[in-house]
Amino acid sequence: MGRNRPDKYILGYVLAHTLPGLDDLSRFVLWPDYAQVLAINAVTNCTFTCMFLCKLITKYDKLMRITFKDQQLLAVLRNDARASTTDIAKQLGVSRSTAQKRLERLEQSGAIAGYTVRMSGEYLDQEIKAHVSITVKPRMTADIIKAMGRIGEVRSIYSVSGPFDLIAEVAAMEVNRLDAVIDEIIAIDGVERTESSVILSTRLKR
């Protein structure tokens, strides 16, 4: 008699072990899948629901682990990636060991992919930057991005809509080098056309 009825223990497990630890946005994202759990459990047997539930928990495992304290820790690192574990613990109001465990978990889960260098404004102001809009031949995008990745002055590459396929941000210390970099991009196999715009000044950056 109970095989085709909602299993209160399974539904209770879902609600007790996931929803309380999530923020409002995460609950909103997860709700369609919770609704699917409810629907599946209402028409099928308990075993099938358990299988689906395991897949659901695995799917959102990383999302469920990002807590408010984790977000605070990430904010600290965004401001100063070299902050010591002791400094992080003080700002979060937790013990040093707790901060260390949170940091290790975020690194292992992939939430923190790595650490980088933030250049000073004085140095960056000396660079000459340009946006290079690029039109590529069909099915050549991946090869072109790989080739541009080998050019050190290429800082970022964006896939865009409109008349161009890619926009690359390049930077060099001298005009001659910037011109040479743009020539290197033009020479890449598969690049059909480029249009460059030199950045004169930065009015706002966040």
**Residue 6 confidence (pLDDT):** 41
- CATH code: domain 66-109 is 1.10.10.10
| pTM of this structure | 0.47
- Per-residue pLDDT, averaged over 127-148, amounts to 94
Give pLDDT, residue 148: 95
Cα–Cα distance between 49 and 43 in angstroms, integer? 10
Q: How confident is the model at residue 131 (pLDDT cuts 50, 70, 90)?
A: very high
Domain boundaries defined on the chain: 8-64, 66-109, 121-199
Amino acid at 154: V
Sheet hosting strand 154-159, strand order edge to edge: 154-159, 166-172, 128-136, 191-199
Of all residues in the chain, what percent carry a pLDDT higher than 90?
Answer: 40
Closest among 154, 114, 161, 155 to 135, alpha carbons compared: 161
Residue 145 has pLDDT above 70, yes or no: yes
List the CATH code of the domain at 121-199. 3.30.70.920
